Amino acid sequence: MSADEIKKELASILRAVRIRIEIEKGFGIDTITVSRPNKLNVQRSSNLLAEKQSMKTPDIDGRKRQTEGTNKRSSKDATKPLSDQTSVTEKGEGVQMLETLRNEMLVCHKCSLGKARTNLVFGVGNPRATLMFVGEAPGRDEDLQGEPFVGRAGQLLTKIIEAIGLKRNDVYIANVLKCRPPGNRAPLPEEIVLCMPYLLKQIEIIQPKVLCALGTFAAQTLLSTKAPVGTLRGRFHDYKGIPIMVTFHPAYLLRNPNDKAKVWEDMKKVRDLLSELSGKDLKI
Ligand code: SF4
């Protein structure tokens, strides 16, 4: 290798390191552990992202958010079929199945949360996502906007997604419960039991390659366990043949920022598995 080529290679590595530091700072991590790499295969992910975006996958519930303010739901959100909320001309089978499921949920009153909600919070993102996040339940902002993870915790989740080289629209995001528990209290076991079939159906339709459970309720619901998230996180489990990473909920991270580094470790494993499964390098 000539001196010029070495200079170019070093410049490219430095550029990649600078980008990585910027991302990790954005993710809220101010210290970086350096380990000996197996290979110096540092590649910008912009081409991959452009490739992903060019797939033009429609956004089942995110193009137009429900913004019905404080109007009580039921008949109001039920009158807005998903097809009216989108400008998608080509609908895949998965999109139609999600739409049917959403329409079913719009009139759901299986538990008492259905009466109190402002909007149903169905889910948002790419209906053919390879990565699907599952959270707990809508909070105030989500209830008002009809979309999961739109408050401060949602902004942090978006940073987490971007930190692994993806965009929010690349993934699918849903909660265990589709209606807001009053006062943001924890979901009750009977509410989870009644609502869980909807989440399972969403997973069945989307068929993600990798799942990520955010927090205790999502992890315990999908893995049928009582084990705390602290002991489940950091490694892949199995959900009906789909690898599922368990990690802390972004709302927990807002209260416990020191644990962001643990989530970053978990998400790097998700990123690496996605790279492996897709044959593409998502590393920045
Ligand atoms: S939380 Fe789930 S089960 Fe309860 S009313 Fe809402 S959609 Fe139905």
pLDDT in the model for residue 6: 87
Task: Tell me how far apart the alpha carbons of residues 44 and 50 are, in angstroms, rounded to a whole number.
Answer: 11
Distance 39 CA to ligand 1 centre (A): 49
Distance 209 CA to ligand 1 centre (A): 26
Going by pLDDT thresholds of 50, 70 and 90, the confidence category of residue 12 is: confident
Question: Does the C-beta of 109 come closer than 6 Å to ligand 1?
Answer: yes
Specify burial of residue 20 (Cβ count, 10 A radius: 0-12, 13-18, 19+). Answer: middle
Alpha carbon 282 to its chain centroid, in Å, reads 16
Q: What is the mean pLDDT of the chain?
A: 82
| Test site for ligand 1: of 177, 190, 202, most ligand atoms within 8 A of the Cβ | 177
pTM beyond 0.85, yes or no: no
Go through the domains of the chain in sequence order and give each one's CATH number. Answer: 58-276 (3.40.470.10)
Least confident of 16-20, 188-192, 216-220, 276-280: 16-20
pLDDT in the model for residue 14: 83
Going by pLDDT thresholds of 50, 70 and 90, the confidence category of residue 161 is: very high
Question: Does the C-beta of 110 come closer than 6 Å to ligand 1?
Answer: yes
